[in-house]
Homo-oligomer: A and B are copies of this chain.
Amino acid sequence: MGEKEISQAVIRRMPRYYRYLGELLDAGVERISSNDLSRRMNVTASQIRQDLNNFGGFGQQGYGYNVKYLYEEIGKILGLDQTHNIIVIGAGNLGQALANYVKFEKFGFVIIGLFDINPVLEQKLVRGIRIYMLDELEAFCKENRVDIAALTLPKKKADAVANRLVDNGVHAIWNFAHVDLELLNKDVVVENVHLSDSLMQLSYNIVKNRDD
């Protein structure tokens, strides 16, 4: 399918298509033209066609897109037809917020454990999900399939813990630490959520907007 050449910019837009199609589906819409989808999403129709053509198209001339079919196909492209087990390293507010986010499960992302080093948190439950101590990580990874580790810990500890996770077979990291991870194993997939960066981008646009 030549998927390797698909740019991350295209991939970044796919969840948004998925989101809009899910809303159309919930609203009972069965099919939609690329023009209607375009108006709704505020993206040009040609952009939509181009993006979807990366995966072989899905539309029919004169018919438009079948909403349910396209929703499911994009779901497959995004790997949402499979279950992904997640552990969260760092059971502070952010870690607990992630554990409380039931929405993720709807998309097949299941949080199966949290880890922390604070003994006060030991064996506590967040929405039924247990908090383990970090020294239990190795045993846990042997007994459970862990697909993704979310890092919500201080940046000074992030590299060490990330490499330890990789040693235990975790090959995907959802990084909330305010640092770009330095991983020894380059075969690991990392997705960063740098909240400060996002706030700075907002602040740039505030100042720019004010000056315009």
Point out the residue from B80, B94, B207 that lies within 8 Å of A94, measured CB to CB: B94
For the complex, is A196 an interface residue (Cβ under 8 Å from B)? yes
Beyond A19-B178, A172-B206, is A11–B201 a contact (Cβ under 8 Å)? yes
Q: Tell me what chain A mostly uses at the interface: helix, strand, loop, or mixed.
A: helix
Task: Digitize A102-146: 1 where CB-to-B-CB distance is under 8 Å, 0 elsewhere.
Answer: 011001110000000000000000000000000000000000000
Q: Determine if A206 and B84 form an interchain contact, defined as CB atoms under 8 angstroms apart.
A: yes
For the complex, is A153 an interface residue (Cβ under 8 Å from B)? no
Point out the residue from B4, B104, B178, B195 that lies within 8 Å of A193, measured CB to CB: B195
* Closest partner residue, chain B, to A126 (CB atom): B93
Q: Could you tell me the distance between the alpha carbons of A195 and B176 in the complex, rounded to whole angstroms?
A: 11
Q: Could you tell me the distance between the alpha carbons of A107 and B201 in the complex, rounded to whole angstroms?
A: 12
For the complex, is A97 an interface residue (Cβ under 8 Å from B)? yes
Find chain B residues with CB under 8 A from A47 CB. Answer: none
For the complex, is A14 an interface residue (Cβ under 8 Å from B)? yes
Copies held by the complex: 2
Task: Report which residue of A77, A101, A202 has the largest number of chain B beta carbons within 10 angstroms of its beta carbon.
Answer: A202
Q: Could you tell me the distance between the alpha carbons of A172 and B80 in the complex, rounded to whole angstroms?
A: 33
Interface size classification for chain A: 35 or more
CB within 8 Å of B: which residues of A? Answer: 3-4, 8, 11-12, 14-16, 18-19, 42, 77-80, 82, 84, 92-94, 96-98, 100-101, 103-104, 107-109, 147-148, 171-172, 174, 178-180, 187, 189, 191, 193-209, 211-212
26 contacts between A and B (CB under 8 A): A4-B208, A12-B201, A15-B194, A15-B198, A16-B180, A19-B179, A42-B180, A78-B200, A84-B203, A84-B206, A92-B97, A93-B97, A93-B100, A96-B97, A97-B97, A103-B178, A104-B195, A104-B196, A148-B206, A171-B206, A172-B206, A174-B198, A187-B209, A191-B198, A191-B199, A193-B195
Q: Identify 4 new A-B residue pairs, CB closer than 8 A, beyond the known A14-B200, A15-B200, A171-B209.
A: A11-B204, A92-B97, A93-B100, A189-B209
